[in-house]
Structure 1
Amino acid sequence: MKEVERNIMFAKAGGNASKNAYTCRISLPMDAIKALGVTPKDRAVTLVIEENQIVIKKAQEN
Structure 2
Amino acid sequence: MREIERNIMFGKAGGNASKNAYTCRISLPADAIKTLGVTPEDRTVTLEILDGAVLIKKKA
Please classify the TM superposition score into its range, dividing by the shorter chain length: over 0.9
CA shift, 1:38, in A, is 0.3
- Matches of 2:47 and 2:30, distance apart in 1: 18
List runs of 5+ in structure 2 lacking aligned partners.
none
List runs of 5+ in structure 1 lacking aligned partners.
none
Q: Which residue of structure 2 aligns with residue 56 of structure 1?
A: 56
Deviations 1:17-43 (A, max 9, x none): 110000100000001000000000000
Total equivalences in the alignment:
60
**Superposition pairs for residues 18-29 of structure 1, below 5 Å?**
18-29=18-29
Give the 4+ runs in structure 1 shifted more than 4 A.
none
Q: Which residue of structure 2 aligns with residue 11 of structure 1?
A: 11
- Aligned-pair Cα RMSD in Å: 0.6
- Matches of 2:53 and 2:29, distance apart in 1: 18
Amino acid of the residue matched to residue 52 of structure 1? Answer: G
CA shift, 1:50, in A, is 1.4
